[in-house]
Structure 1
Amino acid sequence: MNVPVGMVEDIEDLKAQVANLTVLVKKLTGGEEGEPGEALADDEETAGGEAAAEEEGDGDEEWQYPPFILLLDPPQYDDELRALIEWTEGVLVPGYLAEPSADARWCHLWWEHPVAIARLHAVWLAWQELTDPASCGYTGPSVWHRDHMDPALRELRGSTGPFAGCTKGEHQIDHRLPGVVPSAWSHAED
């Protein structure tokens, strides 16, 4: 029988969680005798000792989610942006972006628009996960198109998106920045 990758680890994690919850319920309901923590250690051993091993650092490293690109500092930001540019220019632009128009804008200097970087990075992270049949099955690409790529491109290429001030061959980065708004509070009474 073929067991999907990661399922065995998921089952072991669930066993450890059930054992810990069982001990907690017994302690809270008064059904456990002995010192607090003694039963927890016993149950962890019966669940494979995974909880104790992870706490001690002997277990596998905990999965870390990819960071939001705009919160990265150099050199991590530079590395992540370089990889994003490679994917966007190598996969997204030739495969999905037709000639820009008033209704479907695109900026050839998209990496100078922070909103575009943030959205494209999110789309790229989803693409990495959802195009691997081992982790998401064969429907992943469909989910990626429907839930990630299509909405992101609608937002990016729309008339109010980050490229709204950019026209064919022209780039305008500060078109979305608000201007100075006069305020009654800033005028001194005469």
Structure 2
Amino acid sequence: MSSERWQAEVDSRLARLELQADEAELAYEGLSVRPSAAGSDETDYANLDDWVNGYFCATFSRPLGGEFRWCSQWREHREAVVRLEALWCSWRALRRDPALGMATWLHQFLDPQITMLMAPRGTFAHCSITKHESFTA
């Protein structure tokens, strides 16, 4: 795949993710019912780094190596930042829906993104537990 075609695909996916996050935020603003403290994470994370470190990594940890990849220097991967920010924005909106918010977020947002981030050929494919390597096409 040429770098221009790859960049167009990334741009197209980013636009779709941004649209989904905007739609989720609008849906959240229209909710009149708020979840009780029980069964919901009431922590508000000030920024993406706090959310990734305080929620994402703590909640969705995997045994690293082989099938699952992660890079502690995820900020150095532009694709990772885009994907994690889309997850954070959609999580902030959907977690407040007491009925289907988190189920929707897990299925429609987290599952596809975590696969793209952590797969052997995904965002962190060239990184390991002990090394960081940026991939540029």
Q: Report the TM-score range of the alignment, normalised by the length of the smaller protein.
A: 0.5 to 0.7
2:30, 2:120 → 1: CA distance? 43
Structure 2 residue 96 is the aligned partner of structure 1 residue 132: yes
Q: Aligned pair in 2 of structure 1 residues 101, 131: CA closer, same or farther (>3 Å)? A: same
- 1:170 is aligned, of 125, 131, 134, to 131
The match for 1:121 among 68, 85, 89 is 85
Cα distance, 1:7 vs. partner?
Answer: 7.8
Task: Indicate which of 108, 117, 124 corresponds to 1:147.
Answer: 108
Output the CA distance in 2 between the equivalents of 1:166 and 1:7: 41
TM-score, normalization: structure 2? 0.65
SS at match of 2:47: helix
Task: State the 1:126 CA deviation.
Answer: 0.6
1:104-130, Cα deviation, whole Å (9 max, x unpaired): 100011111000000000011110000
Count of aligned residue pairs for this structure pair: 96
Whole-Å separation in 2 of the counterparts to 1:131 and 1:7: 12
Q: Distance in 2 between matches of 1:150 and 1:97?
A: 13
- Assess if the C-alpha contact under 8 Å between 1:108 and 1:169 holds in 2: no
- How is 1:23-34 mapped onto 2 (pairs within 5 angstroms)? none
Query: 1: distance between equivalents of 2:31 and 2:131?
Result: 51
What residue number does 2:47 align with?
A: 83
Residue 129 of structure 2 aligns to which amino acid in structure 1? K
Amino acid at match of 1:177: T
Structure 2 stretches of 5 or more lacking a match? 1-28, 33-45
Using CA pairs under 8 Å that are at least 6 residues apart, name the structure with larger relative contact order, 1 or 2: 2
Paired position in structure 2 for 1:102: 66
Partners in 2 of 1:97 and 1:152 — Cα distance? 14
Summarize the Cα distance change of 1:171–1:141 in structure 2 as closer, same or farther, 3 Å threshold. same
Q: 2:122 matched to which residue of 1?
A: 161
RMSD value over aligned CA atoms?
2.0
In the alignment, residue 110 of structure 2 is paired with which amino acid?
Answer: M
Name the CA distance, whole Å, in 2 between partners of 1:113 and 1:128: 22
Where in structure 1 are there 5+ consecutive unaligned residues? 9-81, 179-190
What TM-score does the superposition give when structure 1 sets the normalisation length?
A: 0.47
1-structure distance, mates of 2:90, 2:56: 13
Q: 1:108 to 1:7 in 2, by over 3 A?
A: closer
